[in-house]
């Protein structure tokens, strides 16, 4: 099926919230990793989200250009083409754009979507994330409202964040963040809803923080407090009514216990970002191939090596397959197996 339109994307999010599951949102950096996602979603009959960060976009554009927007456009166009051949729905999203990268990253993508919509096509991306968590809340929301208005005109959903996800990812380092910043308060959640709901008929997602940490950690090392989400939702509903309940996003889930992940689904999480674990899944078979075939992938002591072993297609197929299996695990962890809406 093609990449979804606005109406279908809204139906996807509503379906997840109603039935208390979440879509795995997988960060990709290439055609290969995007293909792994599509294969996993198709095999488990799950709709899903493929997303590109600024770092992923830079990588996709090549080491000489390092053009994040260009690389994101390239990956998105590939997904638009290839998704037509699958029987599940897929949405395209951009991840973690801090305030300083709005102009070089988000604005060119929004402009690209504007051109497409003007030509009678769907926007290139279905949703974007503005990460203004490093700003004071007022400044964060001022910029978020501005972007939400732009996105809403084009049929694009905006994701925002308030509070800080700890750790380091994609050049954003919050390893020294004060502990209190790792938890979004109920008052902050009420304010976020107040500001964003001022944009009439706009849809948005909210990445509230509840002890999340980017990076890789052994199970038990990440101390989450999913009850933070419950308290925040309760405060918003108490003030604005049940329809105000947020569509929440879970960032920084590596090392989280399955019980904690599942608990967040009860409180309105409908999207969970997955990156670190799929990076490892992609790399692990590649390392295995090189170590087991050392004298084949290298021209050792004047020999010629083995072309079948150093052909990149040989080992990258293994990486694609391994990443696919890790995405499938994420689908199952989030209770999304067999939930596709079809056409």
Supply the residues annotated as catalytic: 95
Query: The tokens 């308290």 sit on which residue?
Result: 231
CA dihedral (261, 137, 72, 326) in degrees, to 10, reads: -10
Closest CA to 92 of 73, 118, 111: 73
Is the separation of the CB atoms in 97 and 85 below 8 Å? no
Cα 96–chain centre separation: 8
Q: Could you tell me how many residues make up the chain? A: 343
List Cα–Cα distances, 250 to 23, 245, 263, 271, 334, in angstroms. 10, 15, 11, 6, 11
Say if residue 316 is exposed, middle or buried (CB neighbours under 10 Å; 0-12, 13-18, 19+): middle
Query: The tokens 């490093």 sit on which residue?
Result: 134
- Mark out the alpha helices in 100-158 (DSSP H runs): 107-118, 137-153
């Amino acid at each position: 099926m093609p990449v979804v339109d606005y109406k279908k994307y809204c139906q996807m999010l509503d379906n997840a919230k109603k039935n208390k599951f979440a879509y795995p949102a997988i960060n990709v950096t290439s055609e290969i990793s995007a293909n792994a996602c599509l294969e996993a979603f198709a095999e488990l009959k799950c709709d899903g989200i493929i997303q590109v960060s600024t770092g992923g976009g830079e990588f996709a554009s090549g080491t000489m250009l390092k053009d994040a927007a260009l690389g994101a456009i390239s990956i998105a166009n590939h997904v638009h083409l290839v998704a037509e051949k699958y029987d599940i729905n897929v949405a395209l999203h951009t991840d973690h754009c801090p305030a300083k990268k709005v102009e070089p990253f988000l604005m060119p993508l929004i402009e690209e979507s504007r051109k497409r919509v003007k030509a009678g096509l769907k926007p290139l991306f279905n949703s974007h994330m503005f990460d203004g968590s490093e700003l004071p809340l007022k400044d964060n929301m001022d910029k978020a409202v501005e972007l939400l208005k732009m996105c809403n005109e084009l049929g694009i959903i905006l994701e925002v964040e308030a509070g800080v996800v700890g750790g380091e990812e994609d050049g954003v380092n919050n390893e020294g963040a004060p502990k209190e910043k790792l938890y979004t308060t109920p008052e902050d959640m009420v304010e976020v809803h107040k500001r964003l709901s001022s944009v009439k008929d706009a849809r948005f997602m909210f990445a509230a923080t509840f002890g999340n940490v980017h990076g890789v950690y052994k199970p038990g090392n990440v101390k989450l407090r999913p009850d933070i989400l419950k308290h925040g939702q309760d405060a918003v509903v108490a003030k604005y009514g049940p329809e105000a309940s947020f569509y929440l996003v879970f960032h920084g889930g590596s090392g989280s216990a399955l019980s904690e992940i599942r608990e967040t689904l009860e409180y309105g999480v409908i999207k969970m970002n997955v990156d670190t674990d799929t990076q490892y899944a992609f790399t692990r078979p590649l390392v295995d191939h090189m170590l087991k075939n050392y004298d084949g992938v290298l021209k050792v002591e004047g020999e010629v090596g083995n072309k079948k072993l150093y052909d990149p297609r040989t080992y990258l197929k293994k990486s694609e397959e391994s990443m696919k299996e890790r995405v499938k695990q994420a689908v199952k962890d989030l209770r999304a197996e067999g939930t596709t809406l079809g056409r």
